[in-house]
Amino acid sequence: MTHGFMKVAAGIPSVSVAHCEYNRSHIEQLIAQAAEAQAEIAVFPELCLTGYTCQDLFFQQHLLEEAELSLMKLADATRSLNIISIVGLPLSHGGALYNCAAVIFKGKILGIVPKSYLPNYKEFYEMRWFASGLQVANTTIGYAGQTVPFGRRLLFQTSSCTFGVEICEDVWAPTPPSSEMVLEGAEVIFNLSADNDVVGKNHYLQQLLVQQSARCLCGYVFASSGYGESTQDVVFGGKAFVCEDGHLLAQAKRFSTEEQLLISEIDVERVRNERMTNTTFTSSLHKQSTYDTIDSLALFDRTDMRLTRPLQPHPFVPEGEELDRRCEEILQIQTLGLAKRLVHTHVETAVIGISGGLDSTLALLVCVRAFDLLGKSRKGIVGITMPGFGTTNRTYTNATNLMKFLGVSIREINIADACMQHFNDLGIDPDRHDVTYENCQARERTQILMDAANQMNGLVVGTGDLSELALGWATYNGDHMSMYGVNAGVPKTLVRHLVEWVANGMDDSNCRTTLLDIASTPISPELLPAAGNDIAQRTEDLVGPYELHDFFLYHLLRFGFPPAKIYFLARQAFSKDQYADDTIKHWLKVFHRRFFTQQFKRSCLPDGPKVGSCSLSPRGDWRMPSDADATLWLEQCDAI
């Protein structure tokens, strides 16, 4: 296992109905391929050693004996392979026939699990041949020349995870065995299935598996029968899925005549972290186990793993149609949050500083939507542009044009004279462009906004975003402060997409052009004197690329990952052409240093709506001492 990732495989072998030797040889080949690909556990379809569609042939003793012999051979063939394999076969025990999953490793049969729920409707009549394993108590049986644990209440332990096994219909039950297994400690579930294909069923099944992985906070690996099964009445198109905590990581190609081996990785560390922070899950844990856990003694040390699962470089920004849905939903959340605050405070105006940058633009768009929602005149929105020493013609023009096109009230207050007076009062050299020079401008602007809000019975709408809060890239009691921060839950990489999304839906071509130009303007606080229309400060040159910082932030907040794992993920999410390894290391350390030292700014944040899975509100998602020591994190950054 590398950084918590466990490589898994779901195999769809070619099948010859009732020809055990043929089936065994094809399964054996796929196991060898999975081992070559460094998979730790491979699962195969239900009754794959005999074929699922044997029907009354399951009562033939010769077939049952051949299935047992095939399992013996298959187990023997794995002696030199460092992989756990899960295969399906019929097994006779105590006068009953069971549909079973056998777990094998290095020649040993670790355990055999019978199917709990047997379909007996429509085209499936399993109760004609098999008995349910629901009433089977855990025991040991003699099978395939070994003494083997047998029963439905078995879990299996490796160096990477604890896993459980269920079979096909089990996951369709009102209370699937997997729901019980995860409360007993299973982190990954493997399902051996023979799922036929009819119109619409595949999509429903996919949703079912994804939701089961979400409900159980687990990895879920599913393999179903494919080409070669009898097509007498139904067709088995061959399905395989790998899911994790509500996400589909990989799926096989359906209706293929070729064998398939689907490989992906389950992030077991993520599963464990999710469970620790989910009190509903922890409150449901069984206090006294009714399961037997079998230690397979399987040790996996994968130090050179390359991930095959999808890894988004921009985890806050979905793709395709989902981006449209996400943008609309986020804006609705921001809008409703602000609307409630406006009504509750009985204010007449919303006061907002407009710089011509991304954040203030998004906040203004939210204000407009909130006033429209409440049926208020947009003239009640007072946009104040406050040019200073670093303001460029481009941002100034965009700010004033945007306010004009949106129909809000416009005020302009130049801060240069007030700042010079302040410098003179404190004996500050205005030619010394240090942090005092910069912060004076930010605080002057905030003072203007606050006093203007008092003057007009208004409320100051904050513009700072989630990424700035994470890095502390805000002047304390300057742009850090407002009466309601509508962007507090929106990361910088998403702000641009939101502005562009609104722009593309605009009927007014002038407004659309202005919004798109704002979205393409380099991010800058514009606090240092500008040379003509050229921005003197580019934020990402100073604190680092926001797409890296948002990537770091997501994995730190959402899953509690350490620096070494975040670095591992970043190297795989971004190409070397985008960021060299040393560049990622550098900004990763900057991120952690700033994240810890700037907590004091987050500890006194104004109210603002949470819009996604990550938030830094000190009253909600993130409660951290302002003086926490970053040594452990910085030392790991140095050790990478």
Same domain, 365 and 251: no
Q: Report the CATH number that the domain containing residue 59 is assigned in CATH.
A: 3.60.110.10
Same domain, 337 and 371: yes
Domain stops at, among 280, 295, 310: 295
Share of the chain above pLDDT 70, in %: 99
For 591-627, write each residue's pLDDT tens digit. 999 999 999 999 999 999 999 999 999 999 999 999 9
In a domain, 306, yes or no: no
DSSP-derived secondary structure letter, 407: T
CB atoms under 10 Å from CB of 88, counted, come to 30
In a domain, 329, yes or no: yes
Same domain, 30 and 118: yes
Same domain, 37 and 171: yes
Instruction: Summarize the confidence of residues 128-143 as an average pLDDT.
Output: 96
pLDDT the model gives residue 537: 74
In a domain, 310, yes or no: no
Dump the DSSP string for 158-219.
-SS-EEEEEEGGGGGSSS-HHHHHHHTT--EEEEEE-----TTHHHHHHHHHHHHHHHTTSE
Answer yes or no: is pLDDT of 266 > 70: yes
Cβ-based neighbours of 234, under 8 Å, separated by 6 or more: 123, 196, 197, 198
Q: How confident is the model at residue 286 (pLDDT cuts 50, 70, 90)?
A: confident
Return d(Cα 92, Cα 99) in angstroms, integer: 9
Q: How confident is the model at residue 336 (pLDDT cuts 50, 70, 90)?
A: very high
- pTM for this structure? 0.93
The CA–CA distances, whole Å, from 187 to 65, 164, 268, 569 equal: 34, 8, 7, 21
CB atoms under 10 Å from CB of 123, counted, come to 10
Domain stops at, among 295, 329, 352: 295
Total domains present in the chain: 2
Same domain, 257 and 357: no
In a domain, 313, yes or no: no
Same domain, 348 and 291: no
Answer yes or no: is pLDDT of 156 > 90: yes
In a domain, 312, yes or no: no
Answer yes or no: is pLDDT of 302 > 80: no
Instruction: Summarize the confidence of residues 112-137 as an average pLDDT.
Output: 92
For 191-211, write each residue's pLDDT tens digit. 999 999 999 999 999 999 999
In a domain, 274, yes or no: yes
For 432-453, write each residue's pLDDT tens digit. 999 999 999 999 999 999 999 9
Answer yes or no: is pLDDT of 588 > 70: yes
DSSP-derived secondary structure letter, 49: T
Active site amino acids:
46, 115, 168
pLDDT the model gives residue 533: 66
pLDDT the model gives residue 197: 93
Cβ-based neighbours of 332, under 8 Å, separated by 6 or more: none
Nearest to 325 by CA among 513, 511, 497: 497
Same domain, 377 and 261: no
Same domain, 288 and 342: no
Mean pLDDT (the chain) is 95
Chain centre distance of CA 298: 29
Answer yes or no: is pLDDT of 122 > 80: no
In a domain, 314, yes or no: no
For 479-531, write each residue's pLDDT tens digit. 999 999 999 999 999 999 999 999 999 999 999 999 999 999 988 887 888 76
For 31-85, write each residue's pLDDT tens digit. 999 999 999 999 999 999 999 999 999 999 999 999 999 999 999 999 999 999 9
In a domain, 360, yes or no: yes
Answer yes or no: is pLDDT of 405 > 70: yes
Same domain, 138 and 186: yes
Share of the chain above pLDDT 90, in %: 92
Q: Report the CATH number that the domain containing residue 580 is assigned in CATH.
A: 3.40.50.620
Q: How confident is the model at residue 532 (pLDDT cuts 50, 70, 90)?
A: low
Same domain, 389 and 287: no
Answer yes or no: is pLDDT of 276 > 90: yes
Same domain, 441 and 549: yes
Provide the domain limits for residue 416. 321-639
Return d(Cα 399, Cα 359) in angstroms, integer: 12
Same domain, 329 and 452: yes
Domain stops at, among 277, 295, 313: 295
